[in-house]
């Protein structure tokens, strides 16, 4: 059990992460650095497992909001969700195999990806503002399934920015608007979170009291984040998406400059 002040800090971080994650993804930008700071004495896989319990609650509330809205038909979500869950299990297994050896190497890769995503979004002002699918229903589901498996693997392996990556790929490669991309990404992210959480729990890699307390705050944040996204629409989500990606870039650059920071 962390000290009271640290515990309070973790609860606040979880609530804010849930709100951001529920709207545009990228809640790991807040929750994972906070947990590495507050729980620094624990192994990486224990922190990742605890974070998965927290993230699962937020994505459950957010995904439920989007599923209920029927913005994306559930039949178009089923296969991508299954693929994301499968990818996440493989990713979690790989995280155990390379524990302590991969974290620093992920930062430059993520930084390059995030800079590319930000530039691509800024240079295409119309990107994601209208829903213009590039493929027929069958091919769309196949491509969404491939994307979901790959990002699901990353989510189980490391995780920060998963929702943001999913939204970007669904917008850029499928032609979704930001609202529909958020809806599909949240259900896919929920599946990858549940699958990887199950694996971490099976291995006993989590801190129950911290996880449950943070999960409650994250769930409330996720509910209001998704509700806000549904109310504000694609243009608002695009703006928040751009801000979150910029925040990820700054955070990753800071980590690379000061390698001991998280």
Answer yes or no: is 211 within a domain.
Answer: yes
**Which pLDDT does position 44 carry in this prediction?**
82
* Residue 261 predicted with pLDDT over 60: no
pLDDT digits (tens, 9 = 90+) for 218-239: 999 999 999 998 999 888 888 8
pLDDT digits (tens, 9 = 90+) for 74-107: 999 999 999 999 999 999 999 888 876 766 677 7
**Which pLDDT does position 104 carry in this prediction?**
66
Domain count, the chain: 1
Distance CA 240, CA 24 (A): 7
Which tokens sit at 213? 């307390």
Neighbours of 21 (CB within 10 A): 31
CA atoms 99, 103, 109, 110: torsion sign: positive
pLDDT digits (tens, 9 = 90+) for 194-207: 999 999 899 999 99
Of 30-34, 74-78, 244-248, give the range with the top mean pLDDT.
74-78
Whole-number percent of the chain with pLDDT over 90: 47
Q: For the chain, how long is the longest CA-to-CA vector?
A: 54
pLDDT digits (tens, 9 = 90+) for 95-139: 888 876 766 677 787 788 778 888 888 888 887 888 889 999 999
Answer yes or no: is 262 within a domain.
Answer: no
**Which pLDDT does position 29 carry in this prediction?**
72
Which tokens sit at 83? 């693929």
CA-nearest of 237, 243, 59 to 131 is 237
Could you tell me the residue range of the domain that residue 117 belongs to? 4-257
**Which pLDDT does position 214 carry in this prediction?**
96
Distance CA 23, CA 163 (A): 9
Mean pLDDT of the chain: 88
CA-nearest of 167, 262, 180, 182 to 222 is 182
Distance CA 145, CA 85 (A): 11
Sequence-ordered alpha helix ranges (H) in the chain: 4-24, 28-38, 44-69, 78-97, 103-123, 137-157, 162-174, 178-202, 208-232, 234-257
Cβ atoms of 194 and 58 closer than 8 Å:
no
Cβ atoms of 200 and 39 closer than 8 Å:
no
**Which pLDDT does position 158 carry in this prediction?**
80
**Which pLDDT does position 103 carry in this prediction?**
62
* Residue 260 predicted with pLDDT over 60: no
**Which pLDDT does position 82 carry in this prediction?**
97
* Residue 152 predicted with pLDDT over 60: yes
Q: Is 260 helix (H, G, I), strand (E, B) or coil?
A: coil
Show contacts of 99-105: CB within 8 Å, 24+ apart.
99/43, 99/44, 99/45, 100/44, 102/157, 102/158, 103/44, 103/158, 104/259
Selected residue with higher pLDDT from 23 and 215? 215
* Residue 193 predicted with pLDDT over 90: yes
Answer yes or no: is 242 within a domain.
Answer: yes
């Amino acid at each position: 059990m962390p000290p009271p002040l640290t515990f309070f800090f973790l609860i606040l971080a979880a609530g804010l992460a849930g709100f951001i994650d529920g709207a545009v993804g990228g809640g790991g930008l807040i929750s994972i650095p906070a947990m590495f700071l507050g729980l620094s004495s624990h192994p990486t896989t224990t922190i990742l497992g605890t974070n998965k319990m927290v993230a699962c609650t937020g994505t459950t509330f957010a995904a439920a909001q989007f599923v209920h809205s029927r913005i994306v038909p559930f039949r178009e979500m089923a296969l991508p969700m299954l693929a994301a869950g499968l990818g996440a299990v493989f990713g979690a297994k790989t995280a155990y195999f390379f524990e302590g050896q991969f974290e620093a190497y992920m930062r430059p890769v993520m930084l390059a990806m995030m800079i590319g995503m930000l530039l691509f979004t800024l240079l295409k002002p119309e990107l994601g503002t209208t829903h213009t699918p590039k493929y027929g229903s069958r091919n769309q589901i196949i491509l969404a399934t491939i994307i979901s498996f790959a990002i699901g693997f990353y989510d189980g392996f490391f995780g920060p920015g998963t929702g943001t990556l999913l939204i970007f790929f669904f917008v850029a490669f499928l032609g979704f608007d930001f609202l529909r991309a958020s809806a599909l990404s949240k259900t896919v992210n929920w599946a990858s979170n549940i699958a990887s959480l199950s694996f971490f729990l099976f291995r006993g890699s989590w801190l129950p009291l911290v996880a449950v307390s943070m999960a409650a705050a994250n769930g409330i944040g996720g509910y209001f984040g998704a509700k806000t996204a549904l109310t504000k629409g694609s243009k608002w989500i695009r703006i928040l998406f751009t801000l979150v990606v910029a925040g990820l870039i700054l955070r990753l650059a800071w980590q690379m400059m000061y390698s001991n920071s998280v």
